[in-house]
Structure 1
Amino acid sequence: MPPATSYDLKFIKENYEKLSKSNEVFYSSITNNDDEPKQFKPLSNKYWKNLINKINGFILIGLYYQKKRGFIVIKGISKHECRLIYLYVDEYYRQKGIGKHLLSEAKNTAKQLGYTKISLYVLSNNEIAQSLYKNSNFKTTKLRMECSLNE
């Protein structure tokens, strides 16, 4: 899959705006430093625009029957490590291998760019995503726990 073009970025932005108005889980970690998530929340349009303008990494588009059905955003966080920021597949085209293919292509592209590791954050209740990542050789390296103080 080729890197994103300006048309692709428009597709990504439009899909993100649609998602940000829905109840779908589409989150990014909001951190004080890149290693430990402070909280998870939907990304704002401002953050999305900044990402497109400043990404230090790459974006790949997933096609299914020649139509754009998903995308993956990988951000460089150091010389040798990149982070999977977003992986989205259109709701009606999930479970068809698009996410798996995007992840595989992202790993290949990252390796070609000189990265030696990809990291990501995933919500503990997102079992489908966890399964995809585990089947793609991702390993759990950290565990984040929290306790509500309002109970």
Structure 2
Amino acid sequence: MNNLTFKWLNKNNISEAVELFNKYRIFYRQESSIEQSKNFLTNRINNNESKIIIAIKENKAVGFIQLYPIFSSVMLSKSWILNDLYIHEEYRKKGIAATLIEQVLEFAKSDGATTVKLSTEITNTQAQNLYEQMNFKKIEGSTFIDYKFDL
């Protein structure tokens, strides 16, 4: 992964992730909308509602991961939901997704979280294999398969 860098999305660099976010939504059978994608990301960042890391290679955003915080009253703890992960088609199977997930796990642990949770479609076996290789534990669901990584 030569020349691969990572950076947090902020209000000054949102435009770097918009195209990838739009492609991610298309992957999940949503209609393309650059404007709505940009507005959604802008609102999440401006309202401090999510954290987004983008992977940069050759001065181009090639992947991103988006997290949302959640809290458990029962467990008296904070967790992060790894809600969105997307790697541009040309850059898949190069370890970028795993490296982004490692960045998330390090961040969540340093943030005092106890768990990172995620869901993926039952048909997305490629993602399932990655999560299981990274020691996420499968939690059976209905239309989605849920995983968590206890920190």
Tell me the distance in 2 between the aligned counterparts of 1:139 and 1:26.
27
TM-score by length of 1: 0.72
Question: Secondary structure in 2 aligned to 1:106?
Answer: helix
Q: What amino acid does structure 1 have at the position aligned with 2:22? A: E
Match of residue 11 from structure 2: 6
Tell me the distance in 2 between the aligned counterparts of 1:111 and 1:56.
18
- Name the CA shift for 1:129/1:98 in 2 (closer, same or farther; >3 Å): same
Contact 1:84 1:118 survives alignment (8 Å) = yes
Match of residue 128 from structure 2: 130
Q: Shift of the alpha carbon at 1:25?
A: 3.1
- Name the CA shift for 1:77/1:126 in 2 (closer, same or farther; >3 Å): same
Q: What amino acid does structure 1 have at the position aligned with 2:43? A: N
Consecutive aligned runs of 4 or more in structure 1 exceeding 6 Å deviation: none
- Name the CA shift for 1:81/1:68 in 2 (closer, same or farther; >3 Å): same
- Name the CA shift for 1:42/1:140 in 2 (closer, same or farther; >3 Å): farther
Tell me the distance in 1 between the aligned counterparts of 2:10 and 2:41.
16
CA RMSD of aligned residues (A): 2.8
More deviation in 11-20 or 104-113?
11-20
TM-score by length of 2: 0.72
The answer on 1:62 being equivalent to 2:55 is: yes
Name stretches of at least 5 consecutive residues in structure 2 with no aligned partner: 1-5, 72-76, 145-151
Match of residue 91 from structure 2: 93
Match of residue 44 from structure 2: 51
Q: What amino acid does structure 2 have at the position aligned with 1:61? A: I
- Larger strand proportion, structure 1 or 2? 2
- Name the CA shift for 1:136/1:19 in 2 (closer, same or farther; >3 Å): closer
Tell me the distance in 1 between the aligned counterparts of 2:12 and 2:56.
14
Q: Shift of the alpha carbon at 1:101?
A: 0.3
- Once the two structures are superposed, residues 58-106 of structure 1 have per-residue CA deviations (whole angstroms, 9 ceiling, x without a partner) of 2111123453211101110114211001101111100000001000111
Q: Shift of the alpha carbon at 1:131?
A: 0.7
Matches within 5 A, 1:110-125: 110-125=108-123
Tell me the distance in 2 between the aligned counterparts of 1:107 and 1:53.
23
Tell me the percent identity.
27
Q: What amino acid does structure 2 have at the position aligned with 1:9? A: I
